[in-house]
Amino acid sequence: VIPLHLRQGVSSFIVYANLYDYMDFPVVSGKEELFFSKALKKISNLDWHTLKLESIFEDSPTLEFIPDIARELGMEIETIESDKTPLVSLPGNWEEYLLQLRKKDRHELRRKFRRLNASAGNEQIEVHVDAENVDPVMEEFFDLMAFSGEDKSIFLNADNRGFFKDIATALSTKGQFRLFFLEIEEIRVATCICFDYGDKFLLYNSGYNPEYSTLSVGLLNKANTISTAIKLSKKQYNFLKGTERYKYHLGAEETSVFDIIIGR
């Protein structure tokens, strides 16, 4: 499968970039060189002047194989670092995770949890999404997402809400969609979506009620999902693209995302 489209001489992935953090080719492990060789030869028969492969994660085989094959075909190629992806390598238990943090961040995280636990009864819950409950459950998620910033509120138009609901139902059947809420006295005050994929948790999107911001509910809800990932023996927690400061307070280290521009 070559998931590209062609428009006005530019070929690129068939996606809406604001909904995806990574884009790439679906390639069978061990068949990468064969796939990319055949794919580029196939693509070269089309009428384009620029091939834009955006948002490729740094360990993708696309970065390993495409440049050399493209040059062999006489194409010009440029690889550009376009963004950062912070991620955390997960240890075997929560205490080991805390010890990975910088001293100040470890102290602050413990202090925030103590303040939350001292001030209110709280619980993180996970809601399983299915075809019957997807509308009301996801609307709760959207409300908290919209509360947490004007940019997120603008982003949540009807089409994007529909996309979120579609992936919620589709990925839930595979056990890959996990929706978490932090409740304080049975009021849902923070939320996040994580993708459960192999040995990784990937934080897709989140939101919180600013009225509870003094209790750091958004940060602590995410920290709780890191704890859940550790309990499930996951090896990595990926915050996906963006360099928001809180990710580094939770122990993330930077990796890179690249764009590959091919011309002829």
Which tens digits make up the pLDDT trace of 67-92?
999 999 999 999 999 999 999 999 99
Torsion of CA 53, 2, 86, 201, to 10 degrees: 170
pLDDT for 119? 83
pLDDT for 69? 94
pLDDT for 142? 98
Under 8 Å CB-to-CB from 225, ≥6 apart: which residues?
124, 178, 180, 192, 194, 201, 203, 237
DSSP, residue by residue, 57-116? ETT-HHHHHHHHHHHHTT-EEEEEEEEEEEEEE--SSHHHHHHHS-HHHHHHHHHHHHHH
Amino acid symbol at 263? G
Contact of 238 with 201, CB cutoff 8 Å: yes
Which tens digits make up the pLDDT trace of 162-207?
999 999 999 999 999 999 999 999 999 999 999 999 999 999 999 9
pLDDT for 219? 98
Residues of the chain with pLDDT under 70: none
How far apart CA 252 and CA 240 sit, in angstroms, is: 11
Query: Domains of the chain by range and CATH?
Result: 4-84+256-263 (3.30.110), 91-234 (3.40.630.30)
pLDDT for 108? 98
